[in-house]
């Protein structure tokens, strides 16, 4: 698997920013969560309710777990 390299000036701008990542408990979403978190961003991890344990394990593994939170969500259902 190839990892993307990002210019350090772009990554420095993430500190203190807040991002919402859907499908963040696994796969590409989890990788994006780790990158944003590593560079100081607050990360809202949105994923299906049944993936809460997976998301919470991801949060524990992050460099800054205090800057991450899980919210159960299904982006396929838009009813409020």
d(CA 7, CA 3): 13
Q: What is the per-residue pLDDT for 1?
A: 46
Helical axes 52-61 vs 27-38, angle rounded to 10°: 30
Contact (Cβ atoms closer than 8 angstroms) between residue 24 and residue 43? yes
Q: No. of H helices and E strands in the chain?
A: 3, 3
Residue 79 has pLDDT above 80, yes or no: no
Q: What is the per-residue pLDDT for 7?
A: 67
Residue 15 has pLDDT above 50, yes or no: yes
Residues 36-62: tens digit of each pLDDT: 999 999 999 999 999 999 999 999 999
Q: What is the per-residue pLDDT for 28?
A: 93
Q: Where are the domains of the chain?
A: 38-74
* CA dist 44 → 5, 7, 35 (Å): 23, 23, 13
């Amino acid at each position: 698997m190839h990892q993307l390299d990002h210019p350090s000036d772009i990554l420095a701008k993430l500190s203190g920013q807040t991002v919402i990542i859907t499908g963040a408990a696994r796969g590409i979403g989890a990788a994006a969560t780790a990158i944003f978190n590593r560079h100081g961003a607050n990360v809202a991890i949105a994923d299906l309710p049944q993936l809460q344990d997976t998301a919470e394990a991801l949060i524990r593994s992050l460099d800054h777990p205090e800057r991450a939170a899980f919210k159960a969500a299904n982006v396929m259902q838009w009813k409020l």
